[in-house]
Chains A and B, each alone.
Chain A
Amino acid sequence: MNKYVDKPAGEESLYADRVRVYPRAVRGIARNVKWALLIFCLSVYYVLPWIRWYRGPGRPDQAVLLDISTERFYFFDVTFWPQDIVLLTGGLILAAVGLFLVTSLFGRLWCGYACPQTVWTDLFMLVERWIEGDRNARMRRDAGPVTLDKVWRKLAKHGIWLFVAFWTGGGWIMYYVDAPTVTMDFWAGRAGAGVYGFTFLFTATTYVLAGWAREQVCTYMCPWPRFQSAMLDEQTLIVTYQGWRGEPRGHGKRDATTAAKLGNCIDCMACVHVCPTGIDIRDGVQLECIGCGLCVDACNDIMDRTGQPRWLIKWDTLARQAELAKGQAVEAIRLIRPRTLIYLSVLAIAVIAMGTGLAMRSLLEVSVQHERAPLFVRLHDGALRNAYTLKLVNKYDYDVNFTITVDGPPRATLQVAGASEVPGSVINIVVPADSVGAYRVFLDVPPGGKEAPNTDINFLLRDTTDGILLKRNANFMGPGARAGG
């Protein structure tokens, strides 16, 4: 059943018509896992924004919220700042390497079970099956004339699809704005253009991609199948048809008296009919296969009914299948091999780095920047002044009081620019909760001492609430030896 060899040479078009896929319902282990994951993923997606999480007065009480206006990402008890972007990078590395590892071990599990395209397509197919019936009924109705029955079923299907798509698009918005508020605002017509725009955008993409495009996304749009081959090898568990057992395929009774000795495959096409991408797994590993294993379920059912052993189509490695085909002893499935070890170690390093980064993440960040121009200023009494900008980040949900001193030139005095306090050796700065403050600070050194072009000094910042001492290196600049006199 090679899909390309239907026509004589020269009559193949350069453009292919879309072959509509009518997947048949199926029962079995793969289908059960798929249902479970579908329910889990969709539940997380729809429910997560509604979970409340009290963080104190005046702060969002949504457990998961990517608040763009205030530049904060709230995730339960953790609040991420834009400065934590490196953790996001780490998270993406984790996801990528995790995907590589899983794919090299067990094939395209992501594609077959967890990818949003797969999950929502599955959901849309479920709706389709409820309203239009299973494969044969759908095919018959689509091929038939326009009848009242056909019209209302199609209308109902697309109506529910649009409703689900809208629910999905609206759910997306709730990760960015407070869910109950945006729901009220949405229906009261008070929400911003962005909310309506993005809801429409995600409604439209969900409807088109899960309702209409389906397997075309996986086959023609998605880049992931293109570089799958770099992750797969002959030791990877993939959905595979055991040709040595199944061939020669054919209908008819399987007994010793059958003249033509037939294999286990009865060529019933069940595996093709249940396939969500419409391929024939018996052609071997191919780009379009998303590894969902529904053909395994379908074939097991047929094997049971024909009284033959199960698992004609199974998860196995190409290496083992090659040995089985040759009648050799079969090696065990090798989960541990250089490729998986490399992925695993990269993953371990990333997990450790991420975990450390998250654990060591400071909730106080301090930087001292020397003013660039002027580098120093002579005051009327002969004192030398250097100005610094202290950037104090307080990620706590309470105010932090910093006591600031300088370890450097003797008799030096500090003063916050614009403050009315008399310059002294110690200054106090209160940084309000959950905020970043930039403070200009003058450091004056009275005349009489030795003036060097550049002196190393340290700013000592003590958080008086928690007693944390932060030390930041800086420079004190001057003209060097005074000329004249």
Chain B
Amino acid sequence: MPTKIEKDVISGRDTTGHEWDGLKELNTPLPKWWLYTLIVICIWGVGYAIVRPSVPGLFSYYHGTSGFSTRAQVTADVAAIAAGRAGSMDKIKATPIEKIGQDPQLQAVAMTAGRITFANNCQPCHGAGGGGRPGYPTLASDSWIWGGKLAEIQQTITYGIRSGHPDARVNQMPRFGADGILKPAEIDAAADFVLSLRAGTKPGPNVAAGAKVFAENCVACHGEKGEGNREVGGPNLHSAVHLYGDSKEAVVAQISNPRQGVMPNWNTRLDAATIKSVAFYVHSLGGGQ
């Protein structure tokens, strides 16, 4: 509560007239320039609130006389970045994919664009860094069904696998069990043979019988020695990497009623330069040939 303003005996200064439990506040005058600074800042603040977007409303807000908007700024910034990038992306589009690596600057752009696009579009199935998952190929490995050269990867990304696109890569593993082409015992033997192709695995009991079944049914796509055929997408059975699992049960299941995964064609979603960049990135993950 304001009380009488009086002269403080000790300091010789006025009190402000404010007193709390016997403690009286001394008047320590503020320099006037400080006050003027405050007033100038207040005036500036009012002007700023008029010019810039300031007052929120329920469904909109006061836009300010300058019409400034951070959202518009972001749009402009993004457009500026895209424009700046356009030159490099055009160059990537015009450069054959094998030549991109020869230009360090172009390579850096392709790697960055590829990495980001991969994370946004490919990672859900193929895993971070192309680590793969059961049923989804490990792109960081050197085991390829359709080829690991730059152009081959680019082709796969562009048109997909069993995607429905006319240029899509398509292979068809017959349903040997489900369609009754082979008897269960023959399938079992064939699985033993397939597993024996890989070094370090314990041979099953029916390898010899399996070899006969294999020679009669499988060599057209998988090759005479099971070495695979990239022309038709026949997987190399010597590889230690198996898309649908490497246990005997998994191999039997894949012969009887095969799973046929689908990779979308990305040419309808990504532009050619971006696809090239993704192919370049995937090639760099470790398996590129």
Contacts and interface: CB of A to CB of B under 8 A. Distances in A.
A252 to B, nearest CB: 26
Nearest to B123: A373
B38 to A, nearest CB: 11
Interface in A1-50: 2, 4-5, 8-18
Nearest to B12: A5
Contact of A374 (B6, B128, B200): B128
A5 B6 CA distance: 12
Contacts of B59: none
B14 interface: yes
B33 A380 contact: no
B131 A373 contact: yes
B186 interface: no
Given A216-B31, A377-B131, A442 B286 contact: yes
A387 interface: yes
B11 A18 contact: no
30 contacts: A2-B11, A2-B12, A4-B12, A10-B14, A11-B14, A12-B27, A12-B29, A14-B29, A17-B32, A216-B33, A371-B129, A372-B128, A373-B128, A373-B131, A374-B138, A377-B138, A377-B141, A378-B138, A378-B241, A379-B143, A379-B240, A380-B143, A380-B238, A380-B240, A382-B198, A385-B286, A418-B101, A418-B284, A483-B247, A485-B201
B171 interface: no
Interface of B: 5-7, 11-14, 16, 27, 29-35, 101, 127-132, 138, 140-143, 198-202, 236, 238-241, 246-248, 284, 286-287
Contacts of A17: 32
4 nearest A-B residue pairs (beta carbon): A374-B131, A16-B29, A373-B128, A382-B240
Given A380-B143, A447-B240, A14 B30 contact: yes
A5 B31 contact: no
Contacts of B12: 2, 4-5
> Main secondary structure on chain B at its contact with chain A?
loop
B224 to A, nearest CB: 19
A208 B6 CA distance: 38
B29 A379 contact: no
A484 B246 contact: yes
B142 A380 contact: yes
A390 to B, nearest CB: 15
Contacts of A220: 31, 34
A375 B5 CA distance: 77
Contacts of B141: 377-380, 385
Interface string A358-397: 0000000000000111110111111101010000000000
A15 B286 contact: no
Given A14-B30, A15-B35, A448-B200, A374 B240 contact: no
A382 B248 CA distance: 17
Interface string A462-485: 000000000000000000000111
Nearest to B198: A382
> Main secondary structure on chain A at its contact with chain B?
loop
Nearest to B238: A380
Nearest to A384: B240
Given A4-B11, A483-B247, A15 B30 contact: yes
A378 B243 CA distance: 12
B132 A16 contact: no
Given A4-B11, A374-B127, A418-B101, A10 B200 contact: no
A15 B241 contact: no
B76 to A, nearest CB: 19
B5 to A, nearest CB: 4
B258 to A, nearest CB: 19
A417 interface: yes
B261 to A, nearest CB: 18
B247 A377 contact: no
Given A216-B33, A220-B31, 13 more contacts: A5-B13, A13-B29, A14-B29, A16-B30, A16-B31, A18-B32, A377-B131, A377-B140, A377-B141, A377-B286, A387-B286, A447-B199, A484-B247
A364 B205 CA distance: 59
B13 to A, nearest CB: 4
Given A17-B32, A373-B129, A418-B284, A12 B13 contact: yes
Contacts of A372: 128-129
A374 B127 CA distance: 8
Contacts of B198: 382
A439 to B, nearest CB: 13
Interface in A329-385: 371-375, 377-383, 385
Contacts of A374: 127-132, 138, 140
Contact of A485 (B14, B140, B202): B202
Contacts of A4: 11-14
Nearest to B131: A374
Contacts of B129: 371-374, 387
A14 B34 contact: no
A245 B190 CA distance: 116
Contacts of B138: 374, 377-378
Contacts of A382: 198-200, 240
A188 B131 CA distance: 57
Contacts of B131: 373-375, 377
Contacts of B247: 483-484
